[in-house]
A = this chain, B = another copy of it.
Amino acid sequence: MIILKLGGSVVTDKSRPFSFREEVVRRLAEEIRDSDVEGLLIVHGGGAFGHPVASEYGIEDGLNEPGQLMGVAKTRAAMAELNQRIVEVLVECGIPAVSIQTSAVFECRDKRIYSGRIEPVRDFLGIGAVPVLYGDVVVDRSLGVCILSGDQIVAYLAERLKPEQVILATDVDGVLDKNGRVIERVNDANAPSAVEASFVPAGDVTGGMKGKIEELLELAKRGVSSVIVNALVEDRLKNALLGKKTIGTLFEVKR
């Protein structure tokens, strides 16, 4: 089984609010279909849909005044719309994709998942469907609400479902070193410099590449390897799905 994260910067154009990259998503859906991988779970980010609304209402710092409640509703609706569009394209391409709503499955405490119900995920995988989850606003027992990133969802599910591989489809070639070259493999030895080299893009309320690296290092410790690829370049996702060598950064599991 493979867990595929489709980054918010892949499925949307983060520079333009509510811009859905339908052509990119359709190509990726075709790469997924053509790879014919058995057992697939998809998680996508918020990108140009979730982040602008969440930022406008200050949702990332929790629920502090009643006016933010409409911000919660609007962020939820925006994310549901993005999810709906992605699922529709997947279904049109013949992939039996079923959305699984993050906020119905996860609750947080201080921005970390403390309760998750993965039965629906297991069940839909069990009947051969492709569950599609997404970064979203969820209830937070300490803060009222919080933004739960797709990356944290991936880490949580990977730990419990033990996929053969986690694939992070992003808009960069991988983790870059200070000279702009792709670091092919990240392990305990070079992890600090990899984290150092990374950066958080402006307007990303969920932590950017730094957050990703930390989640993936943690995941490798727990026995799940992962790879970051640039899904804006044709066939890289397909090659990663097929287990073929492609440009990207691999987070190795220590044997």
Contacts and interface: CB of A to CB of B under 8 A. Distances in A.
Most chain B beta-carbon neighbours within 10 Å: one of A100, A101, A124 = A101
A72 B91 contact: no
A129 interface: yes
Contacts of A117: 104, 117
A220 interface: no
How often does this chain occur in the complex, in copies?
Answer: 2
Interface stretch (A5-13, A75-83, A198-206, A237-245): A75-83
Interface stretch (A62-70, A178-186, A224-232): A62-70
A72 B96 contact: yes
Interface in A107-131: 107, 115, 117, 119-120, 123-124, 126-129
Contact of A103 (B63, B77, B100, B139): B100
Interface size classification for chain A: 35 or more
A74, A94, A95: most-surrounded residue (chain B CB, <10 A)? A74
A149 interface: no
A99 interface: yes
A100 to B, nearest CB: 5
Contact of A72 (B81, B98, B107): B98
Nearest to A141: B123
A127 B98 contact: no
A13 to B, nearest CB: 21
A97 interface: yes
Contacts of A98: 72-73, 76, 103
A84 interface: yes
Given A84-B77, A101-B101, A91 B70 contact: yes
A87 interface: yes
A144 interface: yes
Given A70-B94, A87-B77, A104 B101 contact: yes
A88 interface: yes
A144 B107 CA distance: 27
Given A66-B128, A72-B129, A103-B120, 5 more contacts: A69-B128, A98-B103, A101-B104, A115-B119, A117-B117
5 contacts: A73-B97, A80-B83, A84-B84, A107-B119, A123-B139
